[in-house]
Structure 1
Amino acid sequence: MIDKQSPLPIYYQIQELIRKKIDKKEWQTGDVLPSERIFAEQYEVSRMTVRQAVTELVNEGLLRREKGRGTFVAEQKFTQTLQGLTSFTEDMKERGLKPSSRLVSFNVKEAAGKTARVLGLNDGEAVYEIQRIRLADHSPMAMETTYISKALIPGLTKNIVQNSIYEYVEAELGLAIGYGEQSLEAALAMKKEAELLEIELNDPVLLISRITHLQDKTPFEYVKSAYRGDRYKFSIQMPRNEQK
């Protein structure tokens, strides 16, 4: 109910009503919301107030608008912290989702340029080049291109890379993964990314670049990923440094 005597703005109260309906699964992903007119009549408020409430929730990503069709409950974003190194497979399993991969290409090629440099290889040394679409409950989440030293991580096959490479490295090869160095930036989806991630050209994506090291600090993996901006967000804890 709307309390017009409350110090809380009416548009904010409408937002909270919508949130509660989504949290309680009364409205689920893909459901269409009542029109602004119906909202306004039901709660005896102006359509402008309803529009403000809905617009803020669209900007937040909780709702999405489709021109000529209405406003819908959006697919909710996954939040991944930037502390700690986990594989995509481990991350999805922790969320109770079924991880899988769709292999786009699997090749052995000669390392060159930045790939050779970040993996500590000479130009011409062999690397695996693996391109996968990473899925959660069969929904595409990220396009991932991985380069791995063939000499350091021998025996990779198409079957292995469609599951967890980290599990193979640790459980099968007995190598200890130590840490990763990661950078993140916002971008717009290019043609191939849009096609493989099932989004529109120029939709937002999060580009992630990671170099992963074994415990002895040897780099073994260089990954470039494009995550769907409508399905993923990243968070980080930032402790305050001691003042000197």
Structure 2
Amino acid sequence: MTIEGVTKHERVRRHLEEVIQQGLAPHEKLPTERDLAESLEVNRQTVRRALDELERDGLVYRLQGAGTFVSASRISKAFELTSFSEDMLARNMRPGSLSVDVSTAAAGQTTGYALNLSPQSPVVRIRRVRTADDIPICLEVCSIAADAVPGLEEGIVGDSLYEDLRTRFGISAVRADQEIHAVVLDEEQAAALQTPPFSPAFLVKRTTYDARSRPLEYAESVYRGDRYSYLLSISRP
């Protein structure tokens, strides 16, 4: 303990928090554990413990063999059926898309099963890199039965797919089944999201349904773990 009752690792943590808040940019690399230990006159175990706490709280992230980096602020997502555009607008952020690719393809086994279609049935497949204030957040691939959305293969009107489906085709999603998996980004995904390969991410698989419980859309989305989180409200029985 120090004279003020603050442990050494807490002092190191507070120092690093101040350094980050006073000017380190997201994804900027922190000094090595050895350099921090020497400059702060503590041992490396003390520095490592402080960094462990910062990582647990989402202020920094580590890449094996590369070092420790400043995390960007995260977008928190509650468990409600909302589109990406609605999520961003609710946070006063500007939604957008990069690398939009719309095509027609066979459903395949996974999508066909989700949408109650034959694997050979045609679907409109939409691949987009979703952005918030021009920062890539999510790599999204959505599939919809082609016969339900004639003309959608020519492109989405506006930026919100759900809004386009509602206004052009009278289709509204009212509920969804969703799975969330912890993954790491491969090199192609990382390049699309402009972040280092093997960074942590969320893989979200979602099937949406209409009011009659008919499947409308199957989507697989990969969210950057350093910019996105999920908020779950729970209560005791």
TM category, shorter = 0.7 to 0.9
Q: How does 1:124-203 map to 2 (within 5 A)?
A: 124-157=120-153, 159-160=155-156, 163-203=159-199
Is 1:9 aligned to residue 18 of structure 2? no
Q: Which residue of 1 aligns with 2:51?
A: 54
Q: Distance in 2 between matches of 1:96 and 1:158?
A: 30
Alignment partners' CA distance in 2, 1:116 and 1:161: 25
Tell me how many residue pairs correspond in the alignment.
232
Q: Which residue of 211, 214, 218 maps to 1:215?
A: 211
Amino acid of the structure 2 residue aligned with 1:63: V
How far did residue 75 of structure 1 move? 1.3
Partner of 1:76: 73
The DSSP-based 3-state class of the residue aligned with 1:160 is coil
TM-score, normalised via structure 2 length: 0.81
How far residue 96 of structure 1 moved from its aligned partner, in angstroms, is: 1.4
Amino acid at match of 2:105: K
Please report how far the alpha carbon of residue 73 of structure 1 lies from its aligned counterpart in structure 2 after TM superposition. Answer: 3.3
Give the letter aligned to residue 87 of structure 1: S
What secondary structure sits across from 1:108 in the alignment?
strand
Which one of 83, 87, 93 corresponds to residue 97 of structure 1? 93
1:231 is aligned, of 213, 224, 227, to: 227
For 2:179 and 2:64, locate their aligned partners in 1 and report how far apart those are by CA, in whole Å.
35
Query: Which residue identity lines up with residue 227 of structure 1 in the other structure?
Result: Y
Give the direction of change, closer, same or farther, for the CA distance of 1:13–1:115 in structure 2 (3 Å limit).
same
TM-score, structure 1 normalization: 0.79
- The percent of aligned pairs where both chains have the same amino acid is 30
Aligned-residue RMSD, C-alpha: 3.0
Return the alpha-carbon distance in structure 2 between the equivalents of residues 120 and 68 of structure 1: 45
Q: Which residue of 2 aligns with 1:29?
A: 25
1:96 and 1:20, CA in 2 relative to 1: closer, same or farther beyond 3 A? farther
- Conserved in 2, the CA contact under 8 Å of 1:101 and 1:162? no
How far off its partner does 1:72 sit? 5.1
Report whether the alignment pairs 1:106 with 2:105.
Answer: no
**Structure 2: tracts of 5 or more residues without a match:** none
Which has the larger displacement, 131-140 or 65-74?
65-74
SS of 2:222 mapped into structure 1: strand
Structure 1: stretches of 5+ with no match in the other structure:
none
SS at structure 2 position matched to 1:193: helix
